Amino acid sequence: MRTEKDCIGERELPDEALYGIHSQRAVENFPISSERLHPLLVESLVEIKKAAAMANQQAGTLDRDKRDAIVKACDAVLAGNYRDAFIVPAIQGSAGTSANMNVNEVIAHLAQKLTPAVFVHPNDDVNESQSTNDTFPTAGKMAMLKLLPDLLVAVGQLTQTLLEKANEFEDLIKVGRTQLQDAVPTTFGHSFHAYYSLFKRDLERLRTAGEDLHSVNMGGTAIGTGVNTTSTYQHRIVPELNDLTGLHLEVAADLIDATQNCDSYVAFSGALKGLAVDLSKVCHDLRLLSSGPQAGFNELRLPRQQAGSSIMPGKVNPVIPEVVNQVAFEVIGKDVTVTMAAEAGQLELNAFEPIMFRDILANETHLTNAIMTLINNCLKGIEVNAESAAERVEQSAITATILAPYLGYMQTTALVKEALADHRSVKELLREKHLLSDHQIETLFSPASLLHEPVTVANH
């Protein structure tokens, strides 16, 4: 065992442990869950440490041997090694200080392990010219940006799949519904094209919200004033980081603003929430339209993925839309957490970035995975029960809406009421009462007329 000291006192640690006293205290102080820092958050912090060592050496404040030792240690971690040394919980107090110090301690101890002749201190050397208050938010944004491309690809594939289905179902007519009541006819092609348009907007909102994540407060240190840095470091740190990551980060125009305000996280989380809301709405539609098969809508057939009951033989549930609904509920809830955490920031710093980063990163991953399972395990295999849907249009009294310009609202209303009461079609009543000619009836009740496409109806 070895003994380490901090401003609180002493703590014994295993000799082989790469983490230090600050990391150990975090584990003891925040026993909230077993969830540790997101791997991309750790990776991004390590990349910052590597870039900072290079910038500090260029500034003449870190000697070349220490720089090389820190870089060697960072490279070892970035290669995928020593990940079990990052022990601090994802949910933690002190605005991410525990996360930053866990990385500082691991890199310092690993540097000495790999380069025994060089002494590297976690604060003085690894954390030189930095503060948790600029490294942690920068690492959070970097992690979000790293996850964003996969999400954008997933949403792009979603829109493409929906457009293909819209074309496939272009001519398949159905009853349109408002407030779950029969309205006027439409097509499944129209419905799926509307879904396509919806997610195209989500794609653009995500891209727009993601742009703000490129602006970072690196070089601002504690509150954005840049205390304990050099001008060379401030000019070199972000370019060095971009060379390592290719993320095209930019130094925020106002470092004090960028250190204390979290509106960019709220905007990005809001775009994720908007996507979740839209996914959930569409999945509700899929479940409704596929309900049954005997006692429900039964207008869509979803791919049969697994048995739906332990007691009812043959029952199959819409499990893919159901799981996407649940992911959407989770994302919406986490967005509330991000909103409240951003609102609770005080004066020169927001202390609640750990929970924001944990929830936003989880939302990006879960939405990406949910969208891909919706595409591959549901949307691609959806079929329309075209015969049943068309028959419902034929039998629906609400199709009489097209008669109002010819018979008037009151007479059309009387026809609809009679048709519903006698369980007869409006077309039957029109013929029986000789209100329109057979040619007029067939023209008015043709798919083109019902879908408001141009038709010519002679006066009767």
Q: Which of 379-383, 405-409, 454-458 has the lowest mean pLDDT?
A: 454-458
In a domain, 236, yes or no: no
Which of 387, 422, 441 terminates a domain? The answer is: 387
Domain boundary among 128, 157, 190: 128
Smallest CA-to-CA distance from 177 within 299, 83, 93 is with 299
- CATH code, 15: 1.10.275.10
Point out the least confidently predicted range of 92-96, 142-146, 382-386, 391-395. 391-395
State the total domains in the chain. 3
Same domain assignment for residues 266 and 376: yes
Same domain, 148 and 17: no
Q: What pLDDT score was predicted for residue 156?
A: 98
Q: If you search the block for the tokens 């001519």, which residue do you land on?
A: 171
240 in any annotated domain: no
pLDDT tier at 427 (50, 70, 90 boundaries)?
Answer: confident
321 phi and psi, to 5 degrees?
A: -55, -35
Neighbouring residues of 123: CB distance < 8 A, sequence distance ≥ 6 = 104
pLDDT at 457 over 70: no
Residue 384 has pLDDT above 90, yes or no: yes
Q: Note whether 428 and 280 are same-domain residues.
A: no
Examine the domain organization and report whether 365 and 425 are in the same domain. Answer: no
The pLDDT confidence band at residue 448, using thresholds 50, 70 and 90, is: confident
The rounded percent of the chain whose pLDDT value lies above 70 is 98
Q: What confidence tens digit (pLDDT) does each residue in 321-367 have?
A: 999 999 999 999 999 999 999 999 999 999 999 999 999 999 999 99
For residues 123 and 146, membership in a common domain is answered with no
The residue range of the domain holding 40 is 2-128
Give domain status of residue 175, yes or no. Answer: yes
Q: How many CB atoms lie within 10 A of CB 301?
A: 15
**pLDDT at residue 386 greater than cutoff 90:** yes
Q: Alpha-carbon dihedral of residues 46, 51, 55, 57, nearest 10 degrees?
A: 60
**Residues assigned a catalytic role:** 309
Q: Does any domain span residue 239?
A: no
Whether residue 199 is found in the same domain as residue 265: yes
Shared domain for 403 and 290, answered yes or no, is no
Q: Could you report the per-residue pLDDT of 257-281, keeping only the tens digit for each?
A: 999 999 999 999 999 999 999 999 9
Report the CATH number that the domain containing residue 439 is assigned in CATH.
1.10.40.30
**Domain-embedded: residue 288:** yes
Does the pLDDT at position 455 exceed 50? no
Q: What is the 3-state secondary structure (H, E, C) of the chain?
A: CEEEECCCCEEEECCCCCCCHHHHHHHHHCCCCCCECCHHHHHHHHHHHHHHHHHHHHHCCCCHHHHHHHHHHHHHHHCCCCHHHCCCECCCCHHHHHHHHHHHHHHHHHHHHHCCCCCCCHHHHHCCCCCHHHHHHHHHHHHHHHHHHHHHHHHHHHHHHHHHHHHHCCCCEEEEEECCEEEEEEEHHHHHHHHHHHHHHHHHHHHHHHHHHHEECCCCCCCCCCCCCCHHHHHHHHHHHHHHHCCCCEECCCHHHHHHCCHHHHHHHHHHHHHHHHHHHHHHHHHHHCCCCCCCCCCEECCCCCECCCCCCCCECCHHHHHHHHHHHHHHHHHHHHHHHHHCCECCECCCHHHHHHHHHHHHHHHHHHHHHHHHHCHHHCEECHHHHHHHHHHCHHHHHHHHHHHCHHHHHHHHHHHHHHCCCHHHHHHHHCCCCHHHHHHHCCHHHHCCCCCCCCCC
Instruction: Note the pLDDT of residue 222.
Output: 97
pLDDT tens digits for range 52-89 = 999 999 999 999 999 999 999 999 999 999 999 999 99
Least confident interval from 34-48, 181-195, 255-269: 181-195
Residues 66/7, Cβ–Cβ less than 8 Å: no
Q: Say yes or no: 176 and 94 in one domain.
A: no
238 domain residue, yes or no:
no
Q: Which of 128, 159, 192 is the last residue of a domain?
A: 128
Question: Same structural domain for residues 270 and 320?
Answer: yes
Percent of the chain with pLDDT over 90: 82
**Does the structure show a pLDDT above 80 at 19?**
yes
Model confidence pLDDT, tens digit, residues 131-175: 999 999 999 999 999 999 999 999 999 999 999 999 999 999 999
**Domain CATH for 160:** 1.20.200.10
Query: Quick one: 265 and 332 in the same domain?
Result: yes
195/279 same-domain check: yes
